[in-house]
Structure formats: structure tokens, C-alpha cells
């Protein structure tokens, strides 16, 4: 994986000239490497710099010595988050080659600790997760979960989307979004819930009265649970009244899941509905829909557990939004580092302890 450092070296410095005691490229480099080594706060970054000063001096100029935690806070509170996100997408596009049939799961995550007392504003990030490459292919901030609809079309501008399968939750089940995906020669599988009431009801009725074209059943057992998923697919759209408005709609999908928990002896049942631009292939659709879980299990859960993102208290300016990019840079690197057989936490510890390993994973 190519080093991300060069992609962020040309960022516009938001500071006024008289406050530029430290080079922006030095601050960016320290921020990326410190988060790779476990930093979660601006104070952590300063402590990392002090501990690694001898190593950093072999790489950086550091004309004014060590940046303080206030400097890191001020710079990342001011940096243009759109430009930072743009550079992030450029880097991920250069190192992550999306393959035909790869599932790109688009979903949002709220950074709970970013809300100030007495302020309703909170940072909500929408990410595109490439399931095969195990990378965040792009992310954008929205002002609220309801505004994911405006962010998704921007994420769909990924340089390479052709041949991929885009999965979305019910928020992304919009005619314009479906059309934007298929116009990029990709396929889409949006979930159906209450926000598409008539379409949801017509899809349920279709499964009551029409003949199922394809069926696939899968069973998985892990973490003390046994889950059975029965996927049924139709190719008859006769009961979908506004089917002409959904570009390239081909197959309504029903997933009937049954999850048994060994520890409690309880069984949970759930039925979910989707629409898809893919042919009526139940095995493919069952596998693709299940891959959407990757954005929760391999991205959101790890960001909260291994990066402690949900407890972040960064609230000044663009600090929370920009720090989330640093977390995702680190996650992309660590997810794709295969020479060390340990989890994310173990790799971060090793990067902090072993400068040669840190140099290897950031490609310097």
C-alpha cells in the first residue's frame, strides 16, 4: 500500500503567517504516524512527538522543535475538511483497486462525543466501505443522519465504481441515487423500509402472490450464534406501480433471517426487503446483502473499540471531522498490513514500539 503522506503534503495551510512556527507537512506527518501508533488525542500526539523526537528528526525538518497539543488542535480545527477528504479519496483510489462484483457498502456513523453541551449539532460521517479490499474508499460529513441523502451522490463519484455492487440502508433508497449508481455501470441493492411506504407494501404483496424465481439458504455459526438466512428473489415487477421510475430495477428481494443465541437459548426472526438492479440470482444477492455488515463490523465497530472514536471530545471547528479522516487512514493501512499476525490493537502497539515497522507500513 502506497504511503498516504505525499497526498496530504500539498494542503493549503489555514494559519496566518505569523503563527506558522511549525511546517504543515511536519504536523500532518506526525498526526498520521501518531494515530497509527495509538494516539487518540492532541495530547497523545505531543507525547508521541517527544518520545520519537530522535526518529522524527531523521525524517522531518522541525524548524521550531516539537509542536504542542494546542498546535495540533488549532491546525486540525482549521484545515478544510473537504480538501482533506478529497486527498483521502485520491489516496485510497490509488492503493485500492476495486474489483468487479465487489460490494461497496455505504452507511453513516455518528461521533457521539462531538456534541457540545446545549448544542444539538453533532458530527455524522457517511463512509463507503470496500468489502474485498477492507478499506474506506471515501467519507463525507453531514449535519444530521437525515442528510445522508445529499452525501451519497458525492461518494458515488469514486474514480472506479464500474462493475461494483453498492449496498445502502433505507435512507439511500431514492430514485436519483439508484439512477446515479447504474449510470456509473454499477449495481445497487437499497433496503426498503417505511420511507418508501408504497414500494415496500407492493414488494411484500409481490412475494405473497407471485412465483419466486430464485432461492438461496445460508447458515453461519460464530460468536455463540447460529444464523440462517433464506433469500428469495422475484423477476416479475408487475405489482410495482412506479417501476418505470426506478432505473434498471430488475429484482425485488426478501431476506428471512433466524438467529439462535446459544447462551440464552432465544431465537430472533426478522424479514427484510430490498430492491436490486441485479438479475434474480439469490446466491449473489444473499452474499452481497450480507457483505453490507462489513461497514458495521469491520469499520464502525473497530473505530469505536480500537480507536475509541465514539468517546472523542474534539469539538472545536473541524477537529472531529478531520480526526476521523486520520483514524480511517490508520485503519486502511493496518487492515491491509499482513506481515504481522495480530489485530488492529496489536499492530498499533508494534508501530509505536518498533520504528522500523512503522517506517515499513507508511512506506518511507
Residues 321 and 267 in one domain: no
Q: Give percent above pLDDT 90 in the chain.
A: 49
37 within some domain: yes
Task: Grade residue 243 by pLDDT with cuts at 50, 70 and 90.
Answer: confident
357 within some domain: yes
Number of domains the chain is built from: 2
Task: Grade residue 96 by pLDDT with cuts at 50, 70 and 90.
Answer: low
Residues 76 and 9 in one domain: yes
pLDDT at 224: 77
Q: Does position 280 have pLDDT exceeding 90, yes or no?
A: yes
- Of 265, 280, 295, the residue at which a domain comes to its end is 280
Q: Which of 102-111, 165-174, 255-264, 324-333 has the lowest mean pLDDT?
A: 102-111
What are the φ/ψ torsions at residue 208 (nearest 5 degrees)? -75, -35
111 within some domain: no
140 within some domain: no
Q: Does position 144 have pLDDT exceeding 60, yes or no?
A: no
Residues 21 and 72 in one domain: yes
215 within some domain: yes
Q: What angle do CA 135, 138, 139 make, to 5 degrees?
A: 120
123 within some domain: no
CA 319 remoteness from chain centre: 18
Mean pLDDT of 97-101: 68
Q: Does position 130 have pLDDT exceeding 60, yes or no?
A: yes
Contact call for residues 51 and 57 (beta carbons, < 8 A):
no
User: Where in the sequence is the domain holding 243, given as residue range(s)?
Assistant: 193-280
165 within some domain: no
pTM, entire model = 0.83
| Distance separating alpha carbons of residues 142 and 151, to the nearest angstrom | 7
293 within some domain: no
DSSP one-letter code for 295: I
Residues 12 and 64 in one domain: yes
Query: What's 261's domain CATH number?
Result: 2.20.130.10
List, for residues 160-212, the tens digit of each pLDDT value.
Answer: 688 899 999 888 888 999 999 999 899 999 999 877 778 999 999 999 999 99
Q: What angle do CA 186, 280, 169 make, to 5 degrees?
A: 55
Q: How many residues does the chain have?
A: 364
Residues 201 and 268 in one domain: yes
Amino acid at each position: 500500500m502506497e504511503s498516504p503522506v505525499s497526498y496530504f503534503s500539498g494542503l493549503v495551510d489555514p494559519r496566518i503567517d505569523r503563527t506558522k512556527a511549525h511546517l504543515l507537512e511536519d504536523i500532518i506527518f506526525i498526526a498520521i504516524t501518531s494515530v497509527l501508533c495509538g494516539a487518540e488525542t492532541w495530547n497523545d500526539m505531543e507525547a508521541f512527538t517527544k518520545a520519537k523526537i530522535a526518529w522524527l528528526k531523521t525524517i522531518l525538518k522541525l524548524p521550531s522543535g516539537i509542536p504542542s497539543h494546542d498546535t495540533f488542535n488549532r491546525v486540525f480545527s482549521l484545515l478544510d475538511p473537504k480538501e482533506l477528504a478529497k486527498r483521502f479519496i485520491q489516496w485510497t483510489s490509488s492503493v485500492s483497486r476495486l474489483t468487479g462484483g465487489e460490494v461497496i457498502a455505504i452507511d453513516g456513523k455518528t461521533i457521539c462525543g462531538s456534541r457540545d453541551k446545549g448544542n444539538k449539532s453533532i458530527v455524522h460521517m457517511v463512509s463507503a466501505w470496500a468489502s474485498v479490499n477492507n478499506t474506506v474508499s471515501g467519507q463525507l460529513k453531514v449535519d444530521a443522519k437525515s442528510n445522508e441523502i445529499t452525501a451519497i451522490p458525492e461518494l458515488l463519484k469514486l474514480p472506479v465504481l464500474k462493475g461494483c455492487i453498492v449496498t445502502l440502508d433505507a435512507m439511500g433508497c431514492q430514485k436519483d441515487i439508484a439512477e446515479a449508481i447504474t449510470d456509473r455501470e454499477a449495481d445497487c441493492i437499497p433496503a426498503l423500509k417505511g420511507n418508501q411506504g408504497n414500494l415496500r407494501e407492493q414488494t411484500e404483496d409481490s412475494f405473497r402472490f407471485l412465483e419466486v424465481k430464485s432461492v438461496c439458504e445460508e447458515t453461519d455459526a460464530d460468536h455463540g450464534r447460529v444464523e440462517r438466512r433464506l433469500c428469495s428473489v422475484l423477476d416479475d415487477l408487475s405489482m410495482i406501480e412506479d417501476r418505470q421510475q426506478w432505473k434498471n430495477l430488475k429484482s425485488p428481494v426478501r431476506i428471512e433471517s433466524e438467529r439462535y443465541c446459544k447462551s440464552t437459548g432465544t431465537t430472533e426472526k426478522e424479514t427484510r426487503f430490498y430492491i436490486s438492479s441485479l438479475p434474480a440470482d439469490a446466491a449473489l444477492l444473499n452474499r452481497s446483502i450480507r457483505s453490507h455488515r462489513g461497514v458495521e463490523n469491520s469499520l464502525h465497530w473497530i473505530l469505536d473499540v480500537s480507536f475509541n472514536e465514539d468517546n472523542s471530545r474534539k469539538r472545536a471547528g473541524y477537529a472531529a471531522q478531520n480526526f476521523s479522516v486520520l483514524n480511517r487512514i490508520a485503519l486502511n493501512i493496518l487492515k491491509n498490513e499482513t506481515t504481522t499476525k495480530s489485530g488492529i490493537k496489536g499492530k498499533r502497539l508494534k508501530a509505536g514500539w518498533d520504528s522500523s515497522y512503522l517506517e515499513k507500513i507508511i512506506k518511507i
